[in-house]
Amino acid sequence: MTTIRLDGVSRTFGDVRAVDRFSATIEDGKLFTLLGPSGCGKTTLLRMIAGFTELDAGSIWFGDRRIDTLPAHRRNTGMVFQNYAIFPNLTVEDNVAYGLRARKVGPVDIRARVEKALARVRLAGYGSRWPHQLSGGQLQRVAIARVLVIEPAVLLFDEPLSNLDAQLRVQMRVEIRQLQQSLGLTTIYVTHDQEEALAISDRIAILRSGKVEQIGSPEEIYRRPQTAFVAEFLGGTNMLPGVAGSFDGRTTEVAACGTTVSVQGKAAEAGQKLLLSIRPEALRLAENPNGPVLHARLVLREFLGQIQRLHAALPDGTQIRISTLGSPQVVAVGEALAIAYDPAQIAVYPAP
Amino acid sequence: MKGFRYAVVFGALALLALFLLYPLSLVLDASLRVNGTGAFTLANYAQIFASRYYVSSVGNSLLAAAFATVGATLVGTPLAFCLARIDIPGKTVLLTLATLPLVLPSFVAAYALVLLFGHAGVVTTALRAIGIPMGPIYGLPGITFVFLLTLYPYVLLPSIAGFRAIDASIEDAARNLGGSRLHAFRTVLLPVAMPAVLAGALLVFIEALENFGVPVVLAEDRPFLAVDIFKLFAGEADNNPAAAGALSVLLIAGTAIALVVQRHYLSRRRFATNARAAPPLLPLSRGWRALATIFSWGIVALSLLPFMAVLFISFLHFRGPVLTWQLALSNYSTLLEGSFRPLYNSLALATITAVVATLLGAPIGYIVARHRGALSAGLDVIGMVPFAVSGTVLAIGLIIAFNSGVLVLTGGWLILVIAYVVRKLPFCIRASSAIVHQIEPSLEEASINLGVPPLKTFVSLTVPLMAGGLIGGMILVWITVASELSSTIVLYTSRWSTMTVRMYHFLEGGEGAGSASAAAAILILFTAAPLLLIHRRVRRQDDPML
């Protein structure tokens, strides 16, 4: 039973604020993901929890026990590394037994626990193999078995899937999630892949230059991004700069990209600059529009199988993307499109 | 672990301060005093620059080093290209053989030249007999030639790596954009490999400048810096420690400048790294391939020829200084009838040094590779200093420093070991940090994360992972110490004489040519045999100095 609490955690490298007053509470048994572009501080944060990077300020607690003052080898965390970090000089068995030996577990007990852990990651019978005889996915499973077997207080994953190919990546993330849920282990997971984060997490923290942009469930973060950065980072939205116009009691007219966009509610005082976020899947091609419409010209059509993505130019030339299911009637490139939208689905952010 | 790190850093700094910087400062001090001990003066330097002999001593040494550098580059670069890109028969064997001259004692090659082309040399006498006069090989021509033959691997090895590290796509791109193969070579391949070539060339310059064994055999009475320093310090006739100090300072200045230039140059240019697809072999016509084969095998054979000749000649009977064509073991019996002592000494000193230097170098190399910071950067730089200091100069410094006072070391075996360890330390540090660079830091972190404390992780995980590479490095140290002459000749006592010293005395005496050749043959055996045993490991490590 471990609840992790991070309280005002900070770290500076030279004059770079790698992590800036990060605070969060991760409830027992939940999978918490640190998501952000490279250099956002997510790995630094994970390494602080593991004990490989020291804190400049703040504290880290497992339950009511403060752990940031403990040396790394006494924190009882189980970390899965990006490159697996399987000891090349030990067999699979000995790799998995490594942490148990460090804990002075008896040899009979070790045997039983190692076998159980290997079976759990579907590697039963691989104990006597050498690491160089295994594939990337198998090495990954050894790395997971190696940390599960010590029954750590928390599991830490540092971009564990980034060295695998696309298909295996999806398969492994399902396995990791199922293991984590069945064991009920509190887990912190670092990734830069937004799809992976959305798929696997109970909660996500989006980081940018060491600071939290937003913490919430995958749905919250995807549907109600609180900042323009989050909206853009998750699923690539259309971000249009505009100037607020009059508010008619129901919608605000915003002048953007040579046209006018209606936004639900009072977006801002008239004349104020702002950013509009419209997700590609919130736009539709309209045959007989009876709501608000954007007029654009088709520039490029990408066929992606289940969906197709259209690139269209607004009157001032700004390009937007529209995702549509199936393949509706195709307009030739260069011809006019009428694009319908729901004013309620447009998010408004102050212009930077 | 932090305690361990500081202990290693400060321990290493203390050792280097006591046994490297302190002795060198005394050499500098002696060069600035009247007669080496009196009042402060710059007269020693003025005297050197006023003396035609010493000016030409400096000049000759610089010229020999410069010629050797140019020659080694002109030979080593095309050879590297052939070995990297052309399908030459027996390439693996050839590569192993090509690394041999780096560890074979170069003064043995010089001695072979004397045996073959000297005043009473085999070839000289044979040519004279049929009426062809033989030009002198003593002095600059002979010395440059031996340097070229023994030092070209310094250019060869990094250049091969340089040519191989150019991804195949780079060359494809040059050709796709319309360049011919020759054009691609001139505009892309050569410039990209150039840093590796030049870095190696500067090492040739340093090694040639501070080499003692080759000029001592081939200079005769001509002025050469490394020899003159030794004579001025240890000579009976013209003993002058102050002048020896001044010349030493000039020598160190020369090598240090070359080393700084090399480091600076390397730090700014790193074009070629990690080719994903190694460049393919060139499709050559039969004739061109034969030409490349003859060239490659020819160079390597030529560089090993002197050693072969010595081995052969050591089994021939000498009548005084005159060689006969009778096979005999008389040279070995004469050499060893006095005593096996020098042989034992060489083996014992080399073994002790190899163990000590590796045990010191491994943790230093680990910290240099793993920790960034002012301390480890400083350690990296200071650890390189011994490379710029010739063995003779370091030995002179050690004698001045530990001849009297609190710590007296002269006359024993310890001072020899200290000199060897200090000189081999840069190699050990580089070798160890090269190994550590190949061990993912996350392995150690995984071990700590699983509950093994850092120091125990280092001992039980990192050290075993490093062991293979360390043993290879240890053998190389053993080999080079077993054939060390330049500091041994200053520091030895009759009790602690070595094979190299014995050989030097036979040569100096003039009539011991037979015994000298036997000593040389034993040295070759000691160096070549272990090297060939570990040749695969050695080739993989290439030269950790780069």
pLDDT at B511: 61
Mean pLDDT of the residues in chain B:
84
Amino acid of residue B14:
A
Contacting residues of A for B435, CB less than 8 Å apart: none
Rounded CA gap, B446 and A80, in Å?
8
Q: Which residue has the tokens 């100069």?
A: B393
pLDDT at A62: 94
pLDDT at B337: 77
Contacting residues of B for A81, CB less than 8 Å apart: 442, 445-446
Rounded CA gap, A231 and A208, in Å?
13
Q: Who wins on pLDDT, B103 or A178?
A: A178
Give me B292's structure tokens.
Answer: 């490349």
CB A99 within 8 A of CB A150: yes
Residues of chain A with pLDDT > 90, as a percent, come to 55
> Across the interface, which of A51, A88, A98 has its CB nearest the CB of B447?
A98
Mean pLDDT of the residues in chain A:
90
pLDDT at B539: 46
Rounded CA gap, B109 and B288, in Å?
31
Rounded CA gap, B24 and B304, in Å?
36
Q: Which residue has the tokens 């696997």?
A: A200
Residue B95 neighbours by CB under 8 Å, 6+ apart: B83, B160, B539
**Which pLDDT band holds residue B328 (cuts at 50, 70, 90)?**
confident
Task: Assess whether pLDDT exceeds 70 at residue B147.
Answer: yes
Rounded CA gap, B538 and A145, in Å?
37
CB B258 within 8 A of CB B154: no
Rounded CA gap, A292 and A227, in Å?
25
How many CB atoms neighbour CB B56 within 10 A?
A: 14
Give me B479's structure tokens.
Answer: 């080999």
Chain B contact present for A104, CB below 8 A: no
Nearest CA in chain A to B456: A102
> Across the interface, which of A50, A81, A102 has its CB nearest the CB of B451?
A102
Chain A contact present for B372, CB below 8 A: no
Task: Assess whether pLDDT exceeds 60 at residue B546.
Answer: no
Q: pLDDT, tens digit, for every residue of B474-531?
A: 888 888 898 888 899 889 988 888 888 888 888 776 667 788 888 888 888 888 877 7
Measured distance between the N- and C-terminal CA atoms of chain A, rounded to whole angstroms: 43
The sign of the dihedral angle between the CA atoms of A41, A47, A52, A58 is: positive
Rounded CA gap, B200 and B156, in Å?
8
Residues B255-268, mean pLDDT to the nearest whole number: 80
Task: Assess whether pLDDT exceeds 80 at residue A151.
Answer: yes
Residues of chain B with pLDDT > 70, as a percent, come to 94
Q: Which residue has the tokens 């212009």?
A: A351
Task: Assess whether pLDDT exceeds 80 at residue B374.
Answer: no
Interchain CB contacts (distance < 8 Å): A and B: 64
Helix axes B225-234, B241-268, angle to 10 degrees: 150
Q: What share of chain B is helix, strand, coil (3-state, %, to 5)?
A: 75, 0, 20
Helix (H, G, I), strand (E, B) or coil at B201: helix
Residue among A55, A33, A50 at smallest CA distance from A42: A33
Rounded CA gap, B499 and B484, in Å?
9
* Shortest alpha-carbon distance between residue A72 and chain B (Å): 6
pLDDT at B418: 94
Residues B229-236, mean pLDDT to the nearest whole number: 82
Contacting residues of A for B450, CB less than 8 Å apart: 73, 78, 98-99, 102, 146-147, 150
Residues A341-346, mean pLDDT to the nearest whole number: 86
> Across the interface, which of B452, B454, B465 has its CB nearest the CB of A102?
B452
CB B297 within 8 A of CB B230: no
Helix (H, G, I), strand (E, B) or coil at B149: helix
> Across the interface, which of A73, A78, A150 has its CB nearest the CB of B448?
A73
Q: Which residue has the tokens 């190299």?
A: B500
| Residue B453 φ/ψ, nearest 5 degrees | -60, 155
> Across the interface, which of B440, B448, B457 has its CB nearest the CB of A83?
B440
How many CB atoms neighbour CB B308 within 10 A?
A: 12
Residues A177-203, mean pLDDT to the nearest whole number: 94
Measured distance between the N- and C-terminal CA atoms of chain B, rounded to whole angstroms: 29
Helix (H, G, I), strand (E, B) or coil at B514: helix
Rounded CA gap, B222 and B215, in Å?
9
Residues A17-35, mean pLDDT to the nearest whole number: 94
Rounded CA gap, B326 and B316, in Å?
5
Window 427-456 of B, Cβ < 8 Å to A:
440, 442-443, 445-454
* Cβ separation A99–B461 shorter than 8 A: no
Nearest CA in chain B to A85: B443
**Which pLDDT band holds residue B540 (cuts at 50, 70, 90)?**
very low
Task: Assess whether pLDDT exceeds 80 at residue B537.
Answer: no
Task: Assess whether pLDDT exceeds 60 at residue A266.
Answer: yes
* Cβ separation B446–A81 shorter than 8 A: yes
CB A175 within 8 A of CB A99: no
Rounded CA gap, A315 and A320, in Å?
11
Rounded CA gap, A319 and A238, in Å?
9
Residue among A178, A112, A170 at smallest CA distance from A144: A178
| Exposed e or buried b per residue across B316-334, where buried means at least 16 C-beta atoms within 10 angstroms of its C-beta | bebeeeebeeeeeebbbee
pLDDT at B237: 65
Rounded CA gap, B96 and B82, in Å?
15
Contacting residues of A for B442, CB less than 8 Å apart: 81-83, 85
* Cβ separation A73–B442 shorter than 8 A: no
Please state whether beta strands A251-256 and A31-35 pair in parallel, antiparallel, or not at all (unpaired): unpaired
Residues B18-47, mean pLDDT to the nearest whole number: 86
The ipTM of this complex is: 0.81
CB B520 within 8 A of CB B468: no
Residues A193-203, mean pLDDT to the nearest whole number: 93
* Shortest alpha-carbon distance between residue B450 and chain A (Å): 5
Contacting residues of B for A52, CB less than 8 Å apart: 445, 448
Residue A181 CA: distances (Å) to CA of A28, A93, A153, A164, A200: 11, 25, 14, 22, 10
How many CB atoms neighbour CB A17 within 10 A?
A: 16
> Across the interface, which of A51, A73, A85 has its CB nearest the CB of B443?
A85
* Cβ separation A77–B449 shorter than 8 A: yes
Rounded CA gap, B427 and B357, in Å?
9
Task: Assess whether pLDDT exceeds 90 at residue B296.
Answer: yes
Backbone dihedral region of A67: left (phi > 0), alpha (psi from -120 to 50 degrees) or beta? alpha
Best B449, B452, B457, B460 residue to mutate vs chain A (most A CBs within 10 Å): B449
> Across the interface, which of B445, B450, B457 has its CB nearest the CB of A52?
B445
Chain B contact present for A89, CB below 8 A: yes
Contacting residues of A for B451, CB less than 8 Å apart: 73-74, 76, 99, 102-103, 150
The full length of chain B comes to 546
Please state whether beta strands A284-285 and A336-340 pair in parallel, antiparallel, or not at all (unpaired): antiparallel
Q: What share of chain A is helix, strand, coil (3-state, %, to 5)?
A: 25, 35, 35
Residue among B243, B221, B216 at smallest CA distance from B50: B243
Residues of chain A with pLDDT > 70, as a percent, come to 98
The CB-side HSE value for A222 (13 A sphere, CA atoms) comes to 13
**Which pLDDT band holds residue A94 (cuts at 50, 70, 90)?**
very high
Q: pLDDT, tens digit, for every residue of A219-229?
A: 999 888 899 89
Q: pLDDT, tens digit, for every residue of A242-253?
A: 888 888 888 888
| Residue B133 φ/ψ, nearest 5 degrees | -75, 145
How many CB atoms neighbour CB A25 within 10 A?
A: 14
Q: Which of B108-117, B186-195, B528-537 is predicted most confidently?
A: B108-117
What secondary structure letter does DSSP report for A80?
E
Burial tier of B501 (Cβ tally within 10 Å: 0-12, 13-18, 19+): buried
CB B321 within 8 A of CB B123: no
Q: Who wins on pLDDT, A247 or B544?
A: A247
pLDDT at B538: 45
Residues A163-188, mean pLDDT to the nearest whole number: 91
Full-model pTM:
0.79
Residue B182 CA: distances (Å) to CA of B173, B188, B198, B340: 14, 10, 21, 58
* Shortest alpha-carbon distance between residue B454 and chain A (Å): 8
